[in-house]
Amino acid sequence: MRLSIDGLQSSTPLSTMLPAVFADDDLAQSFVAGIDEVVAPIHNVLDCLDTYFRPSLAPLDFAQWLASWVGAETDGTEQEPLLRAAVAAAAYLHRIRGTVRGLSEAIRLAFGVEPEITESGGGAWSARPLGSFPGDPRPRLHVHLRLPDPTPADPHRLDTLVAAARPAHMPYTVQVTATTSAERTLSP
C-alpha cells in the first residue's frame, strides 16, 4: 500500500504554476501547498513507475500483486528473494511450460531445490519411416523433491505446482522426502 510521506515535496509544485497575481497571496499559496502535499505521493509513484515493474526493485506488496498479474507459480508463502525470482522468470517459464526444463525451473523457484524428474517421453530421428517410437508407450511423470526440513504442506504444494506446469495429457506422481545428513553436508 502506498502511503503519504511526511515532508515529501512535489516534483512539480503548483505555486510556481499560478498566475503572477497570486504570487504574493498567502491564502492562494497555502491552498496550493496543501494540494501539493496530497498530490506529492502520486507524482512520486508516477516518477518511479518503471521501477514498480522490475521485480528486484518493486515494493514487496506490489511484487506480490505483480506475481498474480504475470501468472507466476507462487502461493504466497515464499520468501521474498524466491518471490522476486519467480516474478522475474514468469515470462520465460510460460515459454517453456510443459517441458522437463520448465517444470524443473518452476519447482526450483518455488522450493529453492532442484527436483529429480523422470518421464516417459523421448525424441528420435530416423531416415526410414515406420521405425519404433522413442520412450515408453505409456506416458508417466514422476517428480521427487528432497528438502532439508519438509513440512506436511510441501507434498500438496508440489502436487499443485506439478499439476499446473506439466503437459496436460501426462499422468504424474510426486514425492517429497527429507535429505539425508550426507546430502546436507555435500550441498553448498
Query: What are the domain boundaries of the chain?
Result: 26-95, 102-188
Cell numbers standing for residue 69: 498479474
**pLDDT tens string 126-145:** 788 877 777 788 889 999 99
73 phi/psi in degrees, rounded to 5: -80, 80
Q: What is the pLDDT of residue 3?
A: 59
DSSP assignment of 83-121 equals HHHHHHHHHHHHHTTTSHHHHHHHHHHHHSSPPEEEES-
Q: What is the pLDDT of residue 82?
A: 87
Element spanning 152, H or E: none
Which class does domain 102-188 fall in? alpha beta
Q: Would you say how long the chain is, in residues?
A: 188
Report residues of the chain scoring pLDDT below 50.
Answer: none
CA gap 2, 70 in Å, rounded: 21
| Cβ-proximal residues to 24 (8 Å cutoff; 6+ apart), any chain | none
Q: What is the pLDDT of residue 105?
A: 92
Q: What is the pLDDT of residue 158?
A: 93
Q: What is the pLDDT of residue 147?
A: 93
- C-alpha distances in Å from residue 108, one per residue of 89, 127, 147, 157, 187: 11, 38, 11, 13, 15
Q: What is the pLDDT of residue 10?
A: 79
Q: What is the pLDDT of residue 146?
A: 94
